[in-house]
């Protein structure tokens, strides 16, 4: 592989066709044909093993961004990130959530390292459905809503949780278990309850709310709405998914476009519906807690959940230079920015380590300081390597999402 003289290069991303994805949103964003019956769940930009971006550098064969950065870490990432990470530490995604995703929690980096090594020692096949840890990394996430977006996000406050357990007759039995604020006891109880009892408690609840759901009486801002939908999506072989308890136990958030939330290790969450742009550490470590047909390892899950209430912190972005909003988080691996450039205007950029850009709307001309340029339309992306200077000129009013590593300048 040769090192390209160009420091700013066009890239293509990877679409993931998971079953919960929508049909039209991503094809429209990416300007690709819709295949009948195919779902389009996620669009990835980055260097993940299961879907690295590809570089277009004028040569016939596309080059994997992962291979390129692995071959030239210092030239692409710079000294500091090359030393600290040695690879692109983030993954940028656009997601179209049509059907709710599993309830999940991600490990801390320390715990991921220990557990990954332990599973390797036990010889659990990386491809096995029983394998919990795919790598040794943490996976904090920031998600920014592109549409109205509903999600479950951490445990409710003690007061809100006591209220909903009292107001939902079929969940009264959990009131004394939770007490004033025993999150661990409550969550352990519902996660370890024998399946016959799960079915018994939830059957009456579901009979009641599904009739309301079918009559169109439930709003998306009510837990009952999502519990009814979950029951119709995930109950199998006559059994009811115990994840339905969690819909009542966790905060139900309804975000407006432009609002973001950050999810660090230990915070349980589930995406219910909507479109978002998400940035995360480059990892695949997910511990599931229901609303899924996949493997749920309850004892392992319990080790990684933080048993505390979450007061949702809605992030709306910090204005920096003109047209730029930054969404800061405590994560050392990534930072998301939104750039708005009006038609005819331009923005001069200097890369600090590696940066990835996605045109979300409009179109732009990108010119490197060696005079070379290319045009990027809606849904198209490029990468800018360490120290590269470029100018981005908006051909129309343009919105661009930028992924970078914080603290690199």
Residue nearest to Zn ion (CB): 104
In the complex, least distance from residue 340 CB atom to Zn ion, rounded to whole angstroms: 28
In the complex, least distance from residue 113 CB atom to Zn ion, rounded to whole angstroms: 19
The answer to whether 87 and 73 are in contact (CB under 8 A) is yes
In the complex, least distance from residue 297 CB atom to Zn ion, rounded to whole angstroms: 16
How many whole angstroms separate alpha carbon 89 and alpha carbon 94?
A: 17
Nearer to Zn ion, 131 or 324 (CB): 131
Q: How many CA atoms lie within 13 A of 86 on its CB side?
A: 0
Nearer to Zn ion, 44 or 385 (CB): 44
Nearer to Zn ion, 273 or 355 (CB): 273
In the complex, least distance from residue 104 CB atom to Zn ion, rounded to whole angstroms: 5
Residue burial 19-48, b: 16+ Cβ < 10 Å; e: rest = ebbbbebbbebbeeeeeeeebbbbbbbbbb
Do the bridges between strand 104-105 and strand 287-288 make them parallel or antiparallel, or are there none, so unpaired? antiparallel
Q: What totals of helices (H) and strands (E) does the chain contain, helices first?
A: 11, 24
Pattern of binders to Zn ion over 73-112, x per CB under 5 A? -------------------------------x--------
3-state SS, residue 403 = strand
- Return the CA Rg of the chain: 22
Nearer to Zn ion, 278 or 368 (CB): 278
Q: How many residues bind Zn ion (CB under 5 A)?
A: 1
Nearer to Zn ion, 10 or 104 (CB): 104
Pattern of binders to Zn ion over 150-189, x per CB under 5 A? ----------------------------------------
In the complex, least distance from residue 315 CB atom to Zn ion, rounded to whole angstroms: 16
3-state SS, residue 364 = strand
Tell me the DSSP string of 208-235: HHHHHHHTT---TTSHHHHHHHHHHHH-
In the complex, least distance from residue 138 CB atom to Zn ion, rounded to whole angstroms: 11
Positions that interact with Zn ion (CB under 5 A):
104
């Amino acid at each position: 592989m040769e090192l390209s003289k160009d420091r700013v290069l066009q890239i293509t991303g990877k679409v993931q066709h998971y079953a919960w994805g929508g049909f039209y949103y991503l094809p429209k964003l990416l300007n690709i044909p819709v295949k009948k019956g195919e779902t389009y769940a996620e669009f990835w930009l980055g260097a993940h093993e299961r879907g690295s971006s590809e570089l277009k550098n004028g040569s016939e064969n596309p080059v994997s961004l992962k291979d390129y950065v692995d071959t030239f870490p210092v030239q692409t990432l710079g000294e500091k990130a090359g030393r600290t990470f040695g690879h692109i530490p983030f993954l940028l995604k656009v997601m179209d959530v049509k059907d709710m995703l599993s309830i999940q929690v991600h490990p801390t980096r320390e715990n991921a390292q220990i557990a990954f090594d332990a599973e390797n020692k036990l010889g659990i096949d990386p491809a096995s459905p029983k394998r919990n840890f795919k790598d040794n990394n943490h996976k904090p996430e920031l998600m920014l809503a592109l549409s109205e977006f509903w999600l479950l996000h951490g445990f409710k406050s003690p007061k809100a949780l006591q209220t909903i357990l009292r107001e939902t007759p079929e969940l009264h039995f959990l009131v004394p278990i939770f007490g004033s604020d025993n999150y661990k006891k409550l969550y352990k109880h519902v996660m370890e309850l024998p399946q016959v009892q799960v079915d018994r408690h939830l059957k009456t609840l579901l009979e009641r709310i599904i009739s309301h759901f079918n009559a169109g009486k439930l709003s998306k801002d009510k837990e009952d709405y999502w519990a009814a939908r979950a029951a119709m999506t995930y109950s199998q072989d006559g059994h009811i998914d115990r994840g339905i308890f969690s819909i009542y136990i966790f905060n139900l958030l309804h975000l407006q476009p432009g609002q973001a939330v950050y999810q660090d290790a230990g915070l349980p969450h589930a995406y219910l519906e909507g479109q978002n742009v998400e940035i995360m550490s480059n990892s695949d470590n997910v511990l599931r807690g229901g609303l899924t047909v996949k493997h749920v390892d309850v004892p392992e899950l319990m080790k990684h959940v933080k048993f505390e209430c979450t007061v949702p912190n809605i992030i709306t972005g910090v204005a920096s230079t003109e047209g730029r909003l930054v969404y800061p988080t405590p994560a050392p691996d990534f930072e998301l920015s939104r750039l708005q450039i009006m038609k005819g205007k331009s923005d001069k950029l200097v890369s600090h380590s590696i940066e990835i850009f996605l045109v979300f709307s409009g179109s732009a001309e990108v010119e490197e300081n060696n005079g070379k340029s290319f045009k990027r339309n809606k849904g198209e992306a490029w990468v800018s390597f360490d120290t590269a200077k470029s100018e981005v000129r908006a051909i129309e009013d343009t919105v661009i999402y930028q992924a970078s590593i914080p603290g690199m300048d």
